[in-house]
Amino acid sequence: MKLQSKDMHLDNAITELNKLIRYFKNYRETGFSKAIVEAKEIAIEMSINPIFPQKRLIERKRRGIEDKDLKSYCHRLEKALKFEERSDIDVEELYTELKLFETLETNEFSNPIDVLKFLKELDYFLNASIAYRILLTIPITVASAEKNFSKLKFVKFYLCSTMTQE
């Protein structure tokens, strides 16, 4: 909220953003492991078995999808990306790339960013690479929409409070 205030100056905003970046870099290096340790301690205190899911192979995630469903998902993605009868991906190529990717002996991936990096290194999974880039931008889009709805509530409250009864 501080960065969104009307009287925020650019130099102060830059300082605040740099602090935020330092915080996240520090959290990435040490914060997550500290949070896991604390969560395990709390679980033990509550007499709960502190078992956390381990990293999964991307192949295991993909293996549960049947071919017809995969093809359907590819078609839905192409339709969502269509603009003036043109799409950013080709359905048949994406389907083939995903089937081929399934057969590769891949390393363990802990998140979609690792998959995207791997796909870019191979340089021949163009459609799958586009799909993963879109996957990685979805949370930003959702957060933006939630912020707009939050602002809409403020406007609605203001309008209701300014109405007078006669």
Q: Check residue 166 and give its pLDDT.
A: 52
Nearest to 129 by CA among 147, 115, 149, 108: 115
Domain ranges of the chain: 2-45, 58-144
Q: Check residue 145 and give its pLDDT.
A: 55
What does each C-alpha distance from 138 to 67, 101, 132 come to in angstroms? 24, 22, 10
Q: Check residue 160 and give its pLDDT.
A: 72
Q: Check residue 149 and give its pLDDT.
A: 61
Q: Check residue 57 and give its pLDDT.
A: 46
Q: Check residue 29 and give its pLDDT.
A: 76
Contact yes or no for 146/139 (Cβ under 8 A): no
Q: Which amino acid, residue 96?
A: T
Per-residue pLDDT of the chain (166 residues; tens, 9 = 90+): 566 677 777 777 788 888 888 887 887 778 777 888 888 888 888 888 877 665 544 444 545 578 888 899 999 988 888 888 888 889 899 999 888 887 776 667 777 788 888 888 887 788 998 888 887 887 655 555 555 666 667 666 767 777 765 5
Residue 30 CA neighbour count, 13 Å, CB half: 3
